[in-house]
Amino acid sequence: MAKEIYESELGQSQFSSYLPAIFALAGSFVILAGRLYFGERFMTDGSLMMLALACYILAALFQLTNLYAPSEMARKIGLWGAALGVMFNLASWLVRWVAAYDREIAILRDAGSTETPWVFRYVPFANLYDLSLAFAFGAGIATLLMSRRRNFQVLAAFSLPLAALILTLARFIGGEFIDLPPVLDSYWRPIHVGVAALS
């Protein structure tokens, strides 16, 4: 009986350790749905990126504080702050994808074309700003997944400042959309750049 209770509690605690990552991913898609519903009146990708930066900095401060003065409250604030940062970070990247697609549709309509381009063609991998958003998201989601284990929580104190630094540098790069040369305007570009970034 005691073994069954322990295994039940262990299973619940293992599932609950994934809640920050699930919350971040679900929340980012809710924000994407808001952008699709409200259109350009919704928050821009730059605003979402600045919210992600603020959340990463807050989470990093609490995780660093937890290193020197361990506190369950500091750990939880750092963890959920990182979850908010990941949510806004991914939402920024997804909203940028929608904005790039809308921009291209507007250019085509102004030129008199009725062509509707393939959505995957506009995955935000066109410049260093886009890649910085994607890399910071990768660092954030990896932190959430690794931090669920107590002995890896120290990694958050180092990876979250790195994600904040990357977003800060991205802000200085600038988030303007660029027109790619025709030789790079191919459906292979997001596949190539995406696989290279993932590796």
Q: Residue 4: is its pLDDT beyond 60?
A: no
Q: Residue 147: is its pLDDT beyond 50?
A: yes
CA atoms of 194 and 128, how far apart (whole Å): 13
pLDDT, residue 29, reads: 96
How far lies 180's CA from each of 47, 111, 126, 186, in Å? 24, 17, 8, 10
Q: What domains sit in the chain, N to C, each tagged with a CATH number?
A: 17-198 (1.20.120)
Model pTM score: 0.85
Higher pLDDT, 185 or 172: 172
**How many CB atoms sit inside 10 A of residue 154's CB?**
14
How many CA atoms are closer than 13 Å to the CA of 54, on its beta-carbon side?
7
End-to-end Cα separation, the chain, in angstroms: 46
pLDDT, residue 91, reads: 96
Give Cα 177 to chain centroid, integer Å: 19
CA atoms of 141 and 28, how far apart (whole Å): 12
CA atoms of 175 and 162, how far apart (whole Å): 19
pLDDT, residue 10, reads: 44
Q: Residue 83: is its pLDDT beyond 50?
A: yes
Average pLDDT over residues 63-70: 88
pLDDT tens per residue, range 92-133: 999 998 998 888 888 888 888 887 777 777 777 778 888 899
CA atoms of 49 and 93, how far apart (whole Å): 8
pLDDT, residue 140, reads: 93
Tell me how far apart the 2 most distant CA atoms of the chain are, in Å: 73
pLDDT tens per residue, range 15-37: 788 899 999 999 999 999 999 99
